[in-house]
Amino acid sequence: MKKTNKLMSAILCLVLIAVVLSCATTGGKKLPPVLATGEWMTYNDRDSDGGSSISNLEVKEDEIDGKLVTVYHITGNVTTQFEYGFAGWGIDADNATMELYKNAEALSFYILGDGKRYSIKFKISSVEDYCYHEYTFTTTEGVAEYFEVPMAFFMQPSWGSPVKFDPSLVTGIEWQTHESWRTDPRNNPFEVKMWNFMIHPGAPKKVVKAEEKLVPGVLGSFDLLLRDNFQYGDGYQGEIRAANMLNGHKLTVGDSFTVKFSYSASRDLEQDVEFGFVDITPAANYWRALSWKDGSTDIPMPSLPASKAGEVVSGEFVFTIVNNATSASAVANVFVFTTKGQGRKGTANSGALKAVTLSFKEFTVTKN
């Protein structure tokens, strides 16, 4: 049992609206993100005979990047008195938030860190050895950063017993210090400020009748949001990860597919649209080109010219796989669309023209 110091907080709900790939039950629009609500707390390894401690969890108004925001200020220290010393913080969510976790598409938060690594853990009841599914990230000292973590990015560490990730069994969300920087037996201080922990709900689940079952390789019409990706790249990016796109097939070297599609953009595009198969799992370091070779002129990423808002663009391309996907999961075999634009590389949400939606009239994948 972990020792906790709990702190009640009153939270105002903020709502953002975005348009992304979704099922027909939401009219092609993603449900608005919702701020998680509940009781914030800290925990440490003292009940495991450790010496780690958190000195403070304070809720306060703070000016960050010229804006006044309500932040959770967490400070503490981790020792190695307990071999696997740890400390962290989390939220004892209310019932409404717990229900949102179960059908979430992603979780997001802002954090001003200290240059050290942390993990966000998605705790489920079927994990019995504390080896919870997690996503590890590195903060930048003194810089406010935005992290959005798709549910597919939560993976178990290798030391525990493998358990299928089932969000419906959620018991809580926590953040924890990471062992990579615990180098001193007594003094490993940390300090972060976090705010706007949001849940991005998935589309309401739809009961599919037998005659409505999806046809492998035929995605029909849908909207795909190309999100601002300047935090990691130099433009906008969206991924198609529909389970029926490849019907459970793992892309391997030598595979050949014909992809046919037509779309129109919600605004004028600044540069060409590039596309192809890619593996975006942690096992692939979040980006492994499967149908082209990065930096190669021999096997480049295919592209179509920039188009005007509403202009219909069509294409039919043959893709030969040049790298193996890490697994047969949908997130390891996605089809990505990217387009470059004006913005500050390394700075989240800095795109001058903001996100763009591609509205597809058709999208088919055929194995050759």
Confidence (pLDDT) at 22: 36
Q: What per-residue confidence (pLDDT) applies to 24?
A: 36
Do 4-201 and 212-367 have matching folds? yes
Q: How far is CA 196 from each of CA 108, 186, 201, 279, rounded to the nearest angstrom?
A: 8, 32, 15, 29
279-307: average pLDDT: 88
Q: How many CB atoms lie within 10 A of CB 152?
A: 20
Q: What is the pLDDT of residues 222-239, one digit of tens each?
A: 888 898 888 778 899 999
Residue 291, pLDDT score: 96
Higher pLDDT, 36 or 16: 36
pLDDT for 331:
80
Residue 227 belongs to what H/E stretch?
Answer: strand 222-228
| Least confident span in 19-33, 155-169, 170-184, 207-221 | 19-33
Across the range 208-228, mean pLDDT stands at 74
Mean pLDDT of all residues in 210-227: 76
Q: Which CATH number fits domain 4-201: 3.90.70.10, 2.60.120.430, 3.40.50.12160, 3.40.50.300?
A: 2.60.120.430
Q: How many helices (H) and strands (E) does the chain have?
A: 1, 21
Query: Mind listing the pLDDT tens digit for each residue in 65-86?
Result: 888 999 999 999 888 777 778 8
pLDDT tens column, 86-105? 889 999 898 889 999 999 99
DSSP string, 105-167: EEEEEEEE--S-EEEEEEEETT--SS--EEEEEE--TT-EEEEEEEGGG-B--TTS------G
Place of tokens 């004006």: 342
Please report, rounded to a whole number, the percentage of residues in the chain having pLDDT higher than 90: 54
The domains of the chain are located at 4-201, 212-367
pLDDT range class, residue 272, cuts 50, 70, 90: very high
Classify domain 212-367 at the CATH topology level: Jelly Rolls (2.60.120)
Q: Look-up: residue for tokens 């202009």?
A: 311
Span 23-35, average pLDDT: 64
Q: Is the pLDDT of residue 42 over 70?
A: yes
